[in-house]
Amino acid sequence: MNKKIFDHLPIPCLSTDNTFQILESNEVAKQVFGRYIESDGFSGALKTITRLIVSGLSDFFSWVESEGAFEKSIILDIQCANDVQKFSLSHSSFEIDGRTALVFTFSSITHRVDSDFQIDLYRNVFERSNQSVYISDADGKILFANPRFTHFFGLSLLKVKGKKDNVLYHENDQKTHFSALNRLVYEVDQVEERMLCVTAFEGQEPIVCSVNIVIIHDKESYTFLHFIEDITSQVSAEETMKSIAFKDPLTGIQNRHSFNLKFNDLFIEAQRLGEQLSLFFIDLDKFKYINDEYGHEYGDALLIHVAERLKSSCKRSDFVARLGGDEFVLLIQADQPKSNLELIARRILFELSKPFSLKELNYKCTCSIGIAQYPDDAMSQSDLLHAADSAMYLAKKSGRNDFSFYNSEVQKELSFNSKRIKEIEIAIENNDIKLYFQPVHDMVTGDVLSFEALARYEDKAGELHLPSYFLPFIEEDPLIYTLAINQIKEIKRYIKVLKHHAVQLPISINLSSYQIKSDTIIEELEYIAKTAPDVSRLIKIEVTETMLFEESSVATKNLNKLTDLGYSLVLDDFGTGHSSIYSLKKIRFEAVKIDKIFIDEIHKPVNKKGSDRNFLNAIIAMIKNLDTRIICEGVESQEQVNYLLQRGCRVGQGFYYSEAIPRKNVLKYLSAK
C-alpha cells in the first residue's frame, strides 16, 4: 500500500509486524484510538494491536490465521480513546524489506447497529401498538397498516392496501381529515383531531376516535403516518362530567353555571346580529310553605315536576334552567313581539297551575314571571338580569300567579327596597334596632301587669322609626330571623336585670309567621327554657290572628311546643283576621288582644243601624266563653276605660297609660306608679 494513501485513508489504519506490534498508524487511527496505540515513551516499546481488542481475541487470531482471511472481515469490540465501539476489521499482507507487514483497516459499524436496532424497535412498536396505525401516500392511498388496525376496522391489509383512506372516516368528518392533511403539507408537522371512524363490522355505530397524523417528508414526496385511538369511554366520561357540571342534579335541566355560559353566548350573538333576546325569571309562589308543611322531600318532588312542565311548555330551541331553590329562567332567541311572549307566559302559568301529584298529596302551585328584553329594556347582561328580576318582583306584588314585563318605575322601587334592606342589615349588625317597652295595666288598680317589647330603629340622623319602616322589607329575608334571635336574647338579659331590682314582670315579644316556623328561633327559646326556666316563664310570645288563618301545621306544632316548654302565648290583633273558635281551641292562648280598631269604635256615636260597638261586644263575649284573659289594645281615653270595665275587660294598654318607653326609663316608670 502506498504510504500516502495509507496516511490519508478516511478510516483508521494500522500496520503491524507478524507479532502484531504496531509499526505505523494513520491520522484517523491516532484520533480514534489515541493513547492505546502510542508507543511507550519511556521504554520505546511498541504496543500491539491486540490491546485494542476488548473481547473476541481468540476469534481475532482464528480469523487472521484462517485461509482466505484477506477476503473476509470480522466484527469486534474495539477500545477507542473515549469508549468502546464495534468495528468491522479487514487486513492485507505486504512484503517490505524481506519482512511481512500486515495492514488492518477499521470500519465503524456502531451507528449502523444502532440504526438496525432502532428499525427493529420501530417495527415492534408499529406491529404491537395498542393504537391502530397505518401509512398513506400523498394521494391518501393506504400503503401499510399494523395488526391492530385490521382488528379495529375489521379490514385486512390486502383489502385496504392501495385504497383511499377516506373510507375509514364518517362522511361528516371526511372534510376534517382532508383539512388536517392540507395543514400538514403547508403548515405543521403533526395534527390531532377528534373524528368518527367507520368500521366494517355490521351494525356497529361510528366510533369516536382521536386521530394523530404525522407527515414524513421524502426527497420528492411525503407520506402520512396515522395513529388512531378509540376514545369512546373517554368521551363518555367527559359527557358525564359535563352533565355533572352543567345539569341540575335534582331536576335534570340546565343549572346556573350552564345558564351563565349560555346567556353570555346568546347575548353576544344577539348583539352581533342585532336581534332581540328575551329573558324570563320564573319564581314559585310561597314555595317555602310546602317545605315547612310537608318536608323537603315534597318540595324536591314539586321542583322536579315544575321543571318537566316548564320544558314541555317551551320549544326545543328555548333554553330552560334552574338557578337554585325555586328560581327558574327561560331564554328565547330572535325577535319576539310582546304578544308572543305574553302567550308563552300565560301557557307557563296555566301549566304550573294544574295540581301536582306528590305521593298522596294533590298540591296546587302558582308562580310569578318577570320578562325583560334586550335591547329594549337593557343594554348589558347584568342589567337584563336585573330587569327580569324587577319585573318578577312586580308580578309578585300584584298578587302572584301572574306575569309582568319590565317597568323602569318598578326598578326604582326595587332599588329603593334593596337599599332599605341593606340599611336594615347594617342597623341589625350595629345593634341600632332597640327594644322599647309599652306597659300593660290593670285598668281597675292602675298597676303595671307586664310589658310588650316593641322594636324601634334610630337612624344616623337620630330619627326614631316604627317597625313599619323596616319589618315589611325583611319579612321574607333571613334578617327577620337574626332580628328575632337578638331581641329574644335582649329580653332574657333584661328580665334578669329587672329581677335584680326585685321586679318580676312578664315581657311579651311579637313573632311573625315566618319566625314561628323557624327551627333556629324555636331552638333558642327551647335553650332558654331548659337553662333558665325562671326567665322563660316571664317571656310571653305574641302571634297575630292572621297566622292562624294560614293553618300551618308547622306553626301549630311549634306554638304547642312553646306552651309545653312553659311559655305563655298571646293572640294579637284579634278580630282582624278569619280565625275560628276551633282555631283558638287548637292552641292554648293565655290571653287574647282585641285590636285597636274595635276599641276606637267606642268614641263613635251610635247611629240608627248601631255601630261596630256591637261587634266589639260580640268579640268580648266570645273570648269570655273561651275562659281566656282579654287585653284591650289602643286604649286612649277614660271613656274607653269605663266602657271596657263595664263589660268585664280589666286589662288594657295604650297611650292613655303610656307609649312605648326606652329601656332606661322602665324602672323610673315603675317607681312612679
Domains in the chain, start-ordered, CATH in brackets? 3-113 (3.30.450.20), 129-234 (3.30.450.20), 247-406 (3.30.70.270), 424-672 (3.20.20.450)
Element (H, E) at 261: helix 256-273
What's the rounded Cα separation, in Å, for the pair 625 and 183? 95
Residue 525 DSSP one-character state: H
Residue 38 DSSP one-character state: S
Residue 484: is it exposed, middle or buried by C-beta count within 10 angstroms (0-12/13-18/19+)? buried
Radius of gyration of the chain (CA): 49
Do β-strands 22-25 and 13-16 pair in parallel, antiparallel, or remain unpaired?
A: antiparallel
In 120-258, which ranges are E strands?
A: 132-136, 142-145, 190-197, 207-217, 222-230
Residue 193: is it exposed, middle or buried by C-beta count within 10 angstroms (0-12/13-18/19+)? middle
What's the rounded Cα separation, in Å, for the pair 181 and 187? 10
Q: Name the nearest CA neighbour of 384 among 398, 366, 405, 399.
A: 405
Contact 532, 565 (CB under 8 A): no
C-alpha grid cell for residue 563?
A: 306552651
In 350-397, which ranges are E strands?
A: 356-358, 361-363, 367-374
C-alpha grid cell for residue 617?
A: 261586644
Q: Name the nearest CA neighbour of 439 among 668, 658, 663.
A: 658
Sign of the torsion angle spanned by Cα atoms 100, 106, 107, 113: positive
Q: Please state the pTM of the whole predicted model.
A: 0.54
Contact 438, 653 (CB under 8 A): yes
Residue 352: is it exposed, middle or buried by C-beta count within 10 angstroms (0-12/13-18/19+)? buried
Q: What is the pLDDT of residue 486?
A: 96
C-alpha grid cell for residue 224?
A: 402520512
C-alpha grid cell for residue 411?
A: 326598578
Q: Which residue positions in the chain have pLDDT lower than 50? A: 115
Q: Which residue has cell 480469523? A: 63
Q: Which residue has cell 414526496? A: 221
List phi, psi (to 5°) of 611.
-130, -175
Do β-strands 132-136 and 142-145 pair in parallel, antiparallel, or remain unpaired?
A: antiparallel
What's the rounded Cα separation, in Å, for the pair 494 and 270? 61
What's the rounded Cα separation, in Å, for the pair 658 and 452? 12
Residue 311 vs residues 186, 250, 296, 564: alpha-carbon distances, Å: 48, 15, 23, 48
Secondary structure (3-state) at 310? helix
365-413 pLDDT, tens digit per residue, is 899 999 999 999 999 999 999 999 989 988 988 778 899 999 887 777 7
What's the rounded Cα separation, in Å, for the pair 426 and 431? 8
List phi, psi (to 5°) of 443.
-75, -5
Per the DSSP assignment, residues forming a β-bridge with 90 are 105
Contact 55, 79 (CB under 8 A): no
Q: How far is CA 257 from the centre of its chain?
A: 6
List phi, psi (to 5°) of 311.
-65, -40
3-state helix, strand, coil in the chain (%, to 5): 45, 25, 30
Q: Name the nearest CA neighbour of 652 among 628, 672, 637, 635.
A: 635
Per the DSSP assignment, residues forming a β-bridge with 441 are 448, 652
Q: Name the nearest CA neighbour of 197 among 188, 209, 189.
A: 209
Residue 458: is it exposed, middle or buried by C-beta count within 10 angstroms (0-12/13-18/19+)? middle
What's the rounded Cα separation, in Å, for the pair 557 and 559? 6
Q: What is the pLDDT of residue 609?
A: 56
What's the rounded Cα separation, in Å, for the pair 13 and 6? 7
